[in-house]
Structure 1
Amino acid sequence: MLVVEGLEAAYGQSRILFGVDLSVAAGEVVTLLGRNGMGKTTTVKSIFGLLKPTGGRITIDGDDVTGRPPHIIARHGLGLVPEGRQIFPTLTVEENLVATHRNEGSARWTLSSVYSLFPRLQERRRNMGNQLSGGEQQMLAIGRALMTNPRLVVLDEATEGLAPLIREEIWDCLKAIKSAGEAILVIDKNVDALARFADRHVVIEKGRIAWQGSTAELRATPDIKDRFLHV
């Protein structure tokens, strides 16, 4: 579905990505791992057109979307849960969800299905976004992305700053999203939790892909975490 080939990106004169390759197939869960500052968020911004690549190619179902505007890329079926959540603070939970709803044909994700996935959001549906806890805001950010009815959901720092119990809730929800047939690209530091449901893993180091492999291969190569993920 999503194929990134030789992706290069920079902020001004500072080059960040040096030929990044990664792919996500339909229904697959892929992780993008690495220490802070290695290029994970830059990769996501480049995929979504929030940062224009300086080289390489990004295709969705064979269509070249490299450097296209974000709204065009979103229409190809990509939904983003951004770093920092970025919900609408002065809209209610329900208004946040309705604002991004895209209903084309028989939509899988509706208010009802999002509330089934996140019962707490239904309980707080009349609360403003800025009245939610960090965990509730993350649930809302995921629900908002799902309301676009994407075929690929991308989560940048999926559980950053959340309490352990809330992290487990987020992991369980991602498993449910996978079971519903969604493809997922997820960035997070909790490798062991990700390995419980992810299919493949991509490790980025200083703007280059340092390692790729399946969950079985990751578990069989324990030094990967020490070499590329631990601070």
Structure 2
Amino acid sequence: MSPSVPLLSVRGLKAGYGGAPVLFGVELEVPERGILALLGRNGMGKTTTVRAIMGLVTPQSGEIVFADAAMAGAPPHRIARAGIGLVPEGRQVFPTLTVEENLVATSAPARAGLPAWTLERVYGLFPRLAERRGHYGNKLSGGEQQMLAIGRALMTNPRLLILDEATEGLAPLIRAEIWAVIRTLKGEGLSILVIDKHVDVLAGLADRMAVLEKGRTVFAGTPAELMADPQVRAAYLSV
């Protein structure tokens, strides 16, 4: 794939639940080996967008293209096998499996062009998980669960990592650790789509930023362009 071609491209995405529309034409691109930050207030369609990308919500119309392959409407297992790993909102670790069992449960072969993710690499990225490898998922702190959710997604050896609410509810020190990990993963060539509320931090990490408002993309551009436009931030990101 040419570096100028996005790894993930979403065009005109419309989707909803039980006949109630939520997305009305979402447009976004995740650059190859780069980061897209997806922003917007609560209830604007960010998680629904992620669920549609992952095949957990069936799009009503629009295109989802990943690594030159059409994915709109594909089943979740095909999308995961194609190379998209999800860190869901709320972490959703397996509560009655140990840390190590959580990680091994999702492991998949390495992909060409990217270093393989193994237990050793995940434990190197998150030493706390190595210390807690025998503990059950429901006995971990919120920060440890988020580390585990990221490690579990990495064990699928994805080309694209999606983090929905990457640092929600985490203490400042843990947030800083998660941001450092995201920066490390980007440096290793992993493409990332990240949703979070900390716009200033994301502006220092992301290559591109997109803002959703009521199920539509109302801004798409560089961090510099977003930070230079106080009207967009005030209209669509302020609480």
Where does residue 82 of structure 1 map in the other structure?
88
TM (normalized to structure 2)?
Answer: 0.94
Secondary structure, counterpart of 2:109 in structure 1 = coil
What are the residue-to-residue correspondences of 1:63-82 with 2, within 5 Å?
63-82=69-88
Where does residue 204 of structure 2 map in the other structure?
196
**Cα separation, 2, equivalents of 1:105 and 1:183:** 13
Where does residue 35 of structure 1 map in the other structure?
41
Amino acid at match of 1:130: N
- Please point out which of 167, 182, 200 is paired with 2:175: 167
Larger deviation, residues 209-218 vs 39-48: 209-218
Larger deviation, residues 119-128 vs 212-221: 212-221
**Cα separation, 2, equivalents of 1:226 and 1:163:** 26
Amino acid at match of 1:72: R
Secondary structure, counterpart of 2:91 in structure 1 = coil
**Cα separation, 1, equivalents of 2:203 and 2:229:** 13
Amino acid at match of 2:204: R
Where does residue 144 of structure 2 map in the other structure?
136
Distance 1:38 1:2, change over 3 A: same
**Cα separation, 1, equivalents of 2:44 and 2:110:** 37
Aligned pair 1:145/2:157, yes or no? no
Where does residue 119 of structure 2 map in the other structure?
111
Secondary structure, counterpart of 2:130 in structure 1 = helix
Amino acid at match of 1:67: G
**Cα separation, 2, equivalents of 1:116 and 1:224:** 40
**Cα separation, 2, equivalents of 1:56 and 1:105:** 28
**Cα separation, 1, equivalents of 2:100 and 2:231:** 45
**Cα separation, 2, equivalents of 1:223 and 1:165:** 31
Q: CA RMSD in A?
A: 1.1
Aligned pair 1:124/2:124, yes or no? no
**Cα separation, 2, equivalents of 1:102 and 1:180:** 18
Aligned pair 1:214/2:225, yes or no? no
Where does residue 9 of structure 1 map in the other structure?
15
Distance 1:10 1:101, change over 3 A: same
Distance 1:105 1:201, change over 3 A: closer
Deviations 1:135-162 (Å, cap 9, x if unpaired)? 0000000000000000000001111111
TM (normalized to structure 1)?
Answer: 0.97
Deviations 1:102-140 (Å, cap 9, x if unpaired)? 124675211111111101111111111111000000000
Amino acid at match of 2:221: G
Secondary structure, counterpart of 1:196 in structure 2 = helix
**Cα separation, 2, equivalents of 1:46 and 1:201:** 19
**Cα separation, 1, equivalents of 2:165 and 2:142:** 13
Percent identity at matched positions? 61
Deviations 1:23-55 (Å, cap 9, x if unpaired)? 112101001100000000000000000000001
Aligned pair 1:60/2:66, yes or no? yes
How many residue pairs get matched? 231
Deviations 1:59-81 (Å, cap 9, x if unpaired)? 11221111110000111110000
Deviation >4 Å, runs of 4+: none
Secondary structure, counterpart of 1:195 in structure 2 = helix
8 Å contact 2:110–2:116 — kept in the other structure? no
Q: CA deviation at 1:223?
A: 3.0
Larger deviation, residues 105-114 vs 63-72: 105-114
Distance 1:105 1:26, change over 3 A: closer
What runs of 5+ residues in structure 1 fail to find an aligned partner? none
